[in-house]
Structure 1
Amino acid sequence: MLSSPDLSTYTNLVIVCCHAIYLGSRSTPDADPYDEIAWLLQHFQKSTATKQSEHETFIHHVTTGLNMTRTGAWRNKSILVISGGRTKRNITELSESESYYHALLHTSDEVRSHAQQAFTAGTLLLEEHATDSYQNLLFSIIAFRKRTGRYPGSIRVVTHAFKARRFLELHANAIRWPKKSITVSGIDPPMDWDEYTVTTSGEASKGYMPWTDDPHGVRNVLSEKRRARGWDPTVKVLLAQGLESSVQDLVHWNGGLEGNLPFPQEKKLVWELDCHADGL
């Protein structure tokens, strides 16, 4: 029987952002996450005559996140949070995060063993509420806090490389996370020049820009995307439970009277004062 780890050494947070749902489960051990048909994919994520399906990139994301917590400088220092909500409720109640965990279990015997050990030890957590990249970041920080009793000293986000600016310039700034304490490990799908041009242009106009005047994602365009992905605002009560008052206020922040105002500067967040601060 594995002993519980000493969480005092776990100061780092690795976030894997989910982008789809793998349909294999613990009861289907023969399922193959490398089979495109085993995934619920958006049309732009699917394979065509000229491009590969993106599901293998998603496997790369989650296996990379797991490896970060067990090898190299962050070994035995990191909590892995797989972040993604129930975005396809009309088809399945399975969350993106749980489905990615199932993909780990089906990838290889070695990966399955490491994933199961981390999940049992509580150093691999499933964040099952996020419906966009801002929520991926904030809700994963909250999951770390509730597991360890404090906030992470450093964060590494595993997602698409073309989304790095969105996290580093916009989301981290919106929650006032220290700039020196967050990095992005970006992994893009294979792309030729035309695909790269279309993808980066689309990210700039549809991924990055909407957040520049709606930093917390509460106005029409971004809030509608959340609703379409199954977001339930009442979950914020559960997420905020047991947190410091300023962090609770951040979770519930609705952009003020204008709907796009930043979180008030006078409300100091715990991580602004001390990234390693113990929770109350």
Structure 2
Amino acid sequence: MGAAASDPPLTPGGSSTRPVPSSDEADIDSITRANPAPQEPDNPDFTYPERLYGDPPTNNHTDIDTLIIVCCHAIFHASPSDSNFPLHSPTLESNWHLAPFQQSNARTAKPGEHTTFLAHITRGLDLLSTSPTSLLVFSGGHTKPTLTSLSEAQSYYNAALAQALSHSPDHAENLQTLFDQHRILLEERATDSFQNLLFSLQLFRQQTGRDARHVLVITHAFKTQRFLKLHAQALGWAGDRIRVEGINPPFSADELDEVVRGEERACREWEEDALGEGEVLGAKRRARGWVEYQSSSFGEV
């Protein structure tokens, strides 16, 4: 769901020179109302593929200026095509493909991290419902091809739909309407946090014909520095135009220490390899289903 593999490479640049809003309010709608979307590309430091840059928008989203990204981290394996789909609750850990470190542990009373993923989904949908100038992107690729053909992004939407059905058919219908109106989009290629941001920015431009004026990333709180200080700057998207709303799993003291150490290692890897194409980060992508024909170099996506 993005540019074709033949597109010319993207080039990372510096920070945006466009004025940013002075408001510190957390409410997205109040910010975006005061800053209407530009009608022309407004970030000269972020170079899009030529085909994307010149094509007309896919949809008539003339008022949309805000991108909400929900970064996906696992796969809810139920599908709406299943006859018993309404019986598959996303609140049950058994309905998710979780990595070992994401699973619950009865000995330590650690809960499964699927509950955190549902919190990310719910927060994204809440923001979308209160901000008529926003698009919501679920971002996550086919990271478990040996287990399922579902992408993380598709599975998050399915989880949202299952959750809505548990409330009422009307809730599910409202969600489906947002999807049909392309207010909810699926970015199904990303295999890491850098690609979550990059491919979602591209998808927003495909849909609207312009850059997002405001970007809000919903992910784990411990990844805030990674997005703001590393990924955004590598893409020339620094400054107040991008924010992170972090929701962590519940940690014990030992778990928190381990996560902090792991994130420090990850940030060092991204500092040394900002585009994620080197030996270490490239290997992680391939382990999550990324294949070389999808991108022989940065930007050929």
Say whether the fold is shared (TM-score over 0.5): yes
Q: Which residue in the other structure is 2:202 paired with?
A: 142
Residue 45 of structure 1 pairs with residue 86 of structure 2:
no
Deviations 1:49-90 (A, max 9, x none): 22111001001101111111111xxx1010101000000111
More helix by share: 1
For the Cα contact (< 8 Å) 1:86–1:93, is it kept in 2? yes
Matches within 5 A, 1:237-248: none
Unaligned runs of 5+ in 2: 1-58
Q: Which residue in the other structure is 1:88 paired with?
A: 144
Following superposition, the deviation at residue 196 of structure 1 comes to 1.2
Give 1:175's match in structure 2, choosing from 235, 238, 243. Answer: 235
1: distance between equivalents of 2:66 and 2:175?
18
Give 2:294's match in structure 1, choosing from 224, 235, 252. Answer: 235
Of structures 1 and 2, the one scoring higher in RCO (CA 8 A, sep 6+) is: 2
Q: Which residue in the other structure is 1:264 paired with?
A: none
Cα distance change, pair 111–45 in 1 and its aligned pair in 2 (3 A) = farther
Q: Which residue in the other structure is 2:117 paired with?
A: 58
Matches within 5 A, 1:65-144: 65-71=124-130, 75-108=131-164, 109=168, 111-144=171-204
User: Between Structure 1 and Structure 2, how many residues are aligned?
Assistant: 235
1: distance between equivalents of 2:71 and 2:171?
19
2:160 partner amino acid: L
Identity of aligned residues (%): 44
For the Cα contact (< 8 Å) 1:15–1:156, is it kept in 2? yes
Q: Which residue in the other structure is 1:25 paired with?
A: 79
For the Cα contact (< 8 Å) 1:23–1:99, is it kept in 2? yes
Backbone CA RMSD of aligned residues = 1.8
TM-score w.r.t. structure 1 length? 0.80
For the Cα contact (< 8 Å) 2:294–2:300, is it kept in 1? no
For the Cα contact (< 8 Å) 2:228–2:238, is it kept in 1? no
Q: Which residue in the other structure is 2:14 paired with?
A: none
Deviations 1:110-149 (A, max 9, x none): 6533321110101100000000000000000011011111
Following TM superposition, where does structure 1 have runs of at least 4 consecutive aligned residues deviating by more than 3 angstroms?
A: none
Following superposition, the deviation at residue 24 of structure 1 comes to 1.0
2: distance between equivalents of 1:66 and 1:20?
18
Following superposition, the deviation at residue 250 of structure 1 comes to 5.6
2:62 partner amino acid: S
Residue 11 of structure 1 pairs with residue 65 of structure 2:
yes
Q: Secondary structure at the match of 2:248?
A: coil
Q: Secondary structure at the match of 2:212?
A: coil
For the Cα contact (< 8 Å) 1:104–1:111, is it kept in 2? no
Q: Secondary structure at the match of 2:250?
A: coil
2:128 partner amino acid: T
For the Cα contact (< 8 Å) 1:158–1:185, is it kept in 2? yes
For the Cα contact (< 8 Å) 2:223–2:263, is it kept in 1? yes
Q: Which residue in the other structure is 1:222 paired with?
A: 281
TM-score w.r.t. structure 2 length? 0.75
Following superposition, the deviation at residue 6 of structure 1 comes to 5.5
Cα distance change, pair 24–251 in 1 and its aligned pair in 2 (3 A) = same
Unaligned runs of 5+ in 1: 238-248, 254-280
